[in-house]
Structure 1
Amino acid sequence: MTADSIPPRRVETAVASTDILGETPLWCDRSRKLWWIDIDGRLHQSFDPATGAHHVTSYDCQFLGSQALTTDGSHLLARNLTLHHRSTGRDPSDQVIEVESGLDNRLNDGRVDARGRLWIGTMDNQLHRPNGALYRVTGDGQVARIFSDVIVTNGIAFSPDNRTLYFTDTRRYCTWMFDFDLDDGVISNRRVFADYSASKERPDGACVDVDGGLWTAFFSGGRVVRYRPDGTIDTVIPLPVTNPTCLSFGGSDLKTLFVTARKFLDEQQLSIEPQAGHLLAIQGVAQGLAEHRFLSAHSDLPPC
């Protein structure tokens, strides 16, 4: 079966931001906003589709690497190698957990499972050494290293039935899948899901839809693709930007695919890719799933 191709004209600008490295878009069903970060700009941003409002908060750190929603309504922000809360009325420098130390790494992609645990990885700041690892973090501060030998963590996602975890190492050009035990928080049976080691294409951030399709952004590839659960590609969406980084479904019906992008573009490339630092939106290609929330130690609420 030939993959469907969506015309580039359907890719719109949601916010004409000037991100250096836009990443980790997440839809919050409570605030009804799309939240994302600019890693290199150290910015935490929100977009309200109902009003068009775009709000930006800057942080004093080297990298603002990732984020997660929490049960207490705050955001968990990855600053360098440490997780912090961002919440109105709480000191934004309130340290939560030091995930890793002593290496030239930073925290990168992560995702919360249906039991409120954060699965987050580190990456090599020089983009070629296997210094990184995947971690499982709980709200009471426990950090477990799941496996190491990672160059650049990306594409962490869970299947709708919570039985599969997807994981990508962008600089190894490969996405793997694991059997996932939701109750025990254990993964096993690692196997290749999509291998681009021959072509050196770079799968980056990912999310899943209600039918179990895995959507992946291809950095340096100018496209996002949808994989069926069996690993075959059935949809390709060309983008007006070379370096898409991550994607997430949002909007009140979770039918808008938001995409972040840019990094490593010179002024000449930016002049022909005016949307490269924007938050992009693609309407109606699929329906996503609500993000799970980190079971914060500050909250007695269950994950939802």
Structure 2
Amino acid sequence: MMRAERVEGHGQAPATVGESPVWRATEQALYWVDIPARKIVRLQVETAVRSEWILPEKVACITFGRDGKVLAGCESGLFAVTLPEVDVDAGADAAGKSVHAPVNALVRKLAAPVFAAPDMRFNDGRCDRQGRFWAGTIVQDMAAAVPAGALYRFDERGVLSAPIVEALIVQNGLAWSPDGSTMYLSDSHPLRRLVWAFDYDIDEGQPHNRRVFADLHRHGGRPDGAAIDVDGCYWICANDAGLVLRFTPDGTLDRQIEVPAIKPAMCAFGGRELDTLFVTSIRPGVGATEHDGHLFAVRPGVQGCAEAEYAGAL
């Protein structure tokens, strides 16, 4: 079994909840978020320079617009985010990695749903192949197991849809097949642990024919964030199992990668050839190890699909 390795140095502070890795090819950099810390993080992989931006509220998922701005799913809604240039050098960490002092991001609210319950926020989100942004909501107290979460579409006109998939507890696992005709969605809650596949109407941006694609009760862990490779295989982080699992388009489990952190959260392909799988992780409140909450990478021998950018104006 292949094993992912730490990317940051041992002196790098871990994330509490590392999520939503996005590869930015124009910068040769990986972006991700730390949800409770309200941070967007960037690592320029080849130079090992790390930068951070602070948002006014929890940020859970991000994608880039074609103008270089960020579209973010946060606590109270969807925001356009401008990341100012980071030019204050704070030196290096204990492993010699360059670190810059955090700066405040500039945000503007674009849209907000009518949340179905108190204490909700956005969670996992990404664009379909046509550049529509999809994101789901959750009740932040996961232990309460409230099925009030829903999946929304934010189209290129800047219109937020009504709930399209409802009764989710912990929405996760969004991904689209290389041709965009299949949409994947998971529910990470211990009571669910399912990944669904949908036929996806590319022209209308509408999923239908929902069916179970993978049941992680059979494989271990909880299905968290996901990525797609060029062969149409679905890579899903098995949270609580320290694994990333690859399922073929027919739902067969054919690959497993070990992650030193027990709670891998989301994966994304990056690197110059899109042949590196990056994995973010969560640091548990009890029993955390030196690896939990850090970023990992592995070359699994396949290429990933480039993620689409948001097609509208930000």
Q: Normalized against structure 2, the TM-score is what?
A: 0.86
Aligned-pair RMSD on alpha carbons? Answer: 1.9
Q: 1:228 to 1:164 in 2, by over 3 A?
A: same
SS of 2:106's partner is coil
1-side partners of 2:268 and 2:231: how far apart? Answer: 15
Superposed displacement of residue 46, structure 1: 0.4
Gaps of 5+ in 1: 299-304
1:120-139 paired onto structure 2 within 5 Å? 120-127=135-142, 128-139=145-156
Contact kept, 8 Å, 1:81 with 1:101, in 2: the verdict is no
User: Which residue of 8, 28, 34 maps to 1:32?
Assistant: 28
Aligned to 1:281: 297
Indicate yes or no: 2:151 matched with 1:157: no
1-side partners of 2:170 and 2:231: how far apart? Answer: 28
Superposed displacement of residue 102, structure 1: 5.8
SS of 1:258's partner is strand
Aligned to 1:68: 63
Superposed displacement of residue 161, structure 1: 1.3
Gaps of 5+ in 2: 86-104
Q: Which amino acid aligns with 1:33?
A: A
Contact kept, 8 Å, 1:72 with 1:296, in 2: the verdict is no
User: Could you report, residue by residue, the CA deviation over 1:31-51 in whole angstroms, capped at 9, with x for unpaired residues?
Assistant: 221000001111100011121
Contact kept, 8 Å, 1:21 with 1:40, in 2: the verdict is yes
Q: Normalized against structure 1, the TM-score is what?
A: 0.89
Q: Which amino acid aligns with 2:170?
A: V
Superposed displacement of residue 89, structure 1: 6.6
Mean alpha-carbon deviation: is it higher for 138-147 or for 117-126?
138-147
Contact kept, 8 Å, 1:83 with 1:95, in 2: the verdict is yes
Mean alpha-carbon deviation: is it higher for 283-292 or for 155-164?
283-292
Q: Which amino acid aligns with 2:265?
A: T
Aligned to 1:20: 16
User: Which residue of 195, 201, 204 maps to 1:184?
Assistant: 204
Q: 1:14 to 1:257 in 2, by over 3 A?
A: farther
Q: Which amino acid aligns with 2:175?
A: A
Mean alpha-carbon deviation: is it higher for 81-90 or for 223-232?
81-90
User: Which residue of 82, 96, 109 maps to 1:95?
Assistant: 109
1:1-304 paired onto structure 2 within 5 Å? 5-6=1-2, 8=3, 10-14=4-8, 16-61=12-57, 63-88=58-83, 92-101=106-115, 103=117, 104-127=119-142, 128-144=145-161, 145-171=163-189, 172-197=192-217, 201-266=221-286, 269-270=287-288, 273-298=289-314
